[in-house]
């Protein structure tokens, strides 16, 4: 098997590479080896601060740095960023519109064996509801790199969500990544599959299976969940009249909800959501978890069959 990168490793490499060109500061909370900010720390020790196991302190410290004009990347696991430090992100960073990039790794149940305590399936929901917060979920190593680059060029708070495991990339090279602009990976008229993260590749597989059955599916990589690309959703939903969302996140509050809000306001299409069905995760291998929680192409295909004409 080829040596593919996880989005978190791509993130770490992006920081270390882009650190030459851009003057940002990186904070971590004792997880620099897991979040891969260690690559930046090694190269730029003067611009890296380990804050220890204190995520709330890290987020407010990031706010203080940003208030003095610094761009800050603050990293930890999604559970401890969006979960534990929600209020510091909201009040210290976002309320002030400060230029802090909250880079949360190990998001979703597909992180594997660590189990429910570490499988954050609520982070997109939590971050999406904060005024002025941009929420980005790259689907592969190339997309992750471009997301970091895009976040650097964007002034203001951004939440970037990265996964733990590596897998074959969706893109052949760096995609044309623009914040707020979904990427159409495949055209189709019968159903529109809107996906993020690991589920983008599963959606492409599902589209292949559906094609064999004579169903033409469009697939959109909706890497920016907020602000969501309304125009693109409306354009495709108006044609297909059937939309499926797919994400490694609770179906409550995440991509599924964001797309539902757009569709409901326009009364445009039937919607089905694939994701974590309002339950906690558990330990297991990535493959076992994909099957257990039905975060796969087969589930997306089955979901298509549930639409009523």
Partner 1 sequence: MYSSKQLKKISTKMKILALQGVYEAQSGHLGGSFSASDLVAALFFNHLRIDAKDTHAPDRDRFVLSKGHAAPIYYAALALKGFFDEAEMKNLRKIDSFLQGHPSMNKTPGVDISSGSLGQGLSTANGMALAAGLDNKSYKVYCICGDGEIQEGQIWEAAMTAAHYKLSNVILFVDCNKLQIDGQVEDVMNSYPVADKFRAFGWNVSEIDGHDFDQINAAVELAKKATNKPNAIICSTVKGKGVSFMENQASWHGVAPNKEQYEIALKELESELG
Residue with Cβ nearer partner 1 (74 or 160): 74
Closest CA to 130 of 242, 253, 220: 253
274 strand-pairing partners: 246
d(CA 47, CA 59): 16
65 interacts with partner 1 by CB under 8 A: yes
The region of 53-61, 172-180, 207-215, 275-283 touching partner 1 under the rule CB under 8 A is: 53-61
Rule CB under 8 A: say whether 96 interacts with partner 1: yes
* Helix residue ranges per DSSP H, the chain: 7-18, 32-35, 38-43, 55-67, 78, 86-88, 123-128, 141-152, 199-212, 230-240, 255-266, 286-292, 297-305
| 52 is a contact residue toward partner 1 (CB under 8 A) | yes
Choose the stretch contacting partner 1; rule: CB under 8 A; options: 6-14, 62-70, 185-193, 300-308: 62-70
H helices present in 19-94, as ranges: 32-35, 38-43, 55-67, 78, 86-88
* Residue in 13, 55, 122, 202 annotated catalytic: 55
Sheet with 191-195: list strands edge to edge.
Answer: 183-186, 217-221, 191-195, 242-250, 270-276
Of residues 88, 134, 141, 250, which one binds partner 1 by CB under 8 A?
Answer: 88
- Do the beta carbons of residue 138 and residue 144 sit within 8 Å? yes
Residue 95 touching partner 1 (CB under 8 A): yes
What is the Cα–Cα distance from 152 to 141, expressed in whole angstroms?
Answer: 17
1, 3, 21, 68: which one contacts partner 1 (CB under 8 A)?
68
Binding of partner 1 at residue 43 (CB under 8 A)? Answer: no
Q: Choose between 29 and 206: whose C-beta lies nearer to partner 1.
A: 29
Gap between the Cα atoms of 241 and 233, Å rounded: 11
Taking the complex as a whole, how short is the minimal distance between the CB of residue 120 and partner 1, in angstroms? 20
Inter-CA distances, 153 with 12, 90, 222, 234, Å:
17, 22, 19, 28
208 touches partner 1 by CB under 8 A: no
What tokens appear for 222 in the block? 């909706």
Among 92, 105, 166, 245, binds partner 1 (CB under 8 A): 92
Question: Cα separation of 12 and 164, whole Å?
Answer: 12
Which CB sits closer to partner 1, 63 or 194? 63
131 contacts partner 1 (rule: CB under 8 A):
no
**Is residue 17 involved in binding partner 1 (CB under 8 A)?**
no
Cβ burial of 200 (10 Å; 0-12, 13-18, 19+) is buried
56 near partner 1, rule: CB under 8 A: yes
- Smallest gap from Cβ 35 to partner 1, in A, equals 18
273 beta partners: 245
> Quick one: which of 15, 25, 150, 244 contacts partner 1 (CB under 8 A)?
25
Report the residue number, 4 or 44, with the smaller CB distance to partner 1.
44
Q: Which pair of tokens denotes residue 141?
A: 């190593």
CA distance 112 to 106: 9
User: Which of the ranges 61-69, 219-227, 259-267, 283-291 carries the binding residues for partner 1, by CB under 8 A?
Assistant: 61-69
Annotated active-site residue 55? The verdict is yes
**Binds partner 1 by CB under 8 A, chosen from 17, 34, 44, 54:** 54
When the beta carbons of 52 and 266 are compared against partner 1, the nearer one is 52
User: What are the residues binding partner 1 (CB under 8 A)?
Assistant: 25, 46-47, 49, 51-52, 54, 56-70, 87-88, 91-92, 95-97
Active site residues: 55
């Amino acid at each position: 098997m080829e040596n593919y990168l996880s989005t978190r490793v791509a993130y770490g490499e992006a920081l270390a590479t882009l650190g030459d060109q851009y003057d940002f500061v990186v904070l971590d909370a004792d997880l620099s080896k897991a979040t891969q900010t260690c690559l930046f720390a090694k190269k730029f020790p003067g611009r890296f601060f380990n804050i220890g196991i204190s995520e709330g302190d890290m987020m407010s410290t990031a706010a203080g740095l940003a208030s003095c004009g610094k761009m800050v990347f603050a990293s930890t696991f999604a559970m401890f960023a969006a979960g534990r430090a929600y209020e510091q992100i909201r009040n210290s960073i976002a309320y002030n519109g400060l230029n802090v990039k909250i880079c949360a790794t190990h998001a979703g149940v597909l992180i594997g064996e660590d189990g429910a305590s570490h499988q954050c399936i609520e982070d997109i929901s939590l971050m999406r509801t904060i005024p002025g917060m941009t929420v980005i979920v790259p689907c592969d190593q190339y997309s992750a790199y471009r997301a970091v680059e895009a976040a650097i060029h964007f002034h203001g708070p951004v939440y970037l969500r990265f996964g733990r495991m590596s897998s074959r990339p969706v893109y052949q090279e760096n995609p044309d990544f623009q914040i707020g602009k979904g990427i159409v990976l495949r055209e189709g008229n019968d159903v529109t599959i809107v996906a993020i993260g690991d589920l983008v590749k599963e959606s492409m597989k599902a589209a292949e299976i559906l094609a064999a059955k004579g169903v033409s599916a469009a697939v959109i990589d909706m890497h920016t969940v907020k602000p969501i690309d309304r125009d693109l959703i409306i354009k495709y939903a108006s044609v297909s009249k059937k939309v499926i969302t797919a994400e490694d996140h609770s179906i409550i509050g995440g991509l599924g909800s964001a797309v539902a809000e757009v569709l409901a306001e326009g009364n445009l299409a039937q919607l089905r959501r694939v994701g974590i069905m309002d339950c906690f995760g558990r330990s297991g291998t990535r493959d076992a978890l994909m099957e257990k929680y039905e975060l796969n192409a087969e589930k997306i295909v089955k979901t298509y069959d549930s639409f009523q004409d």
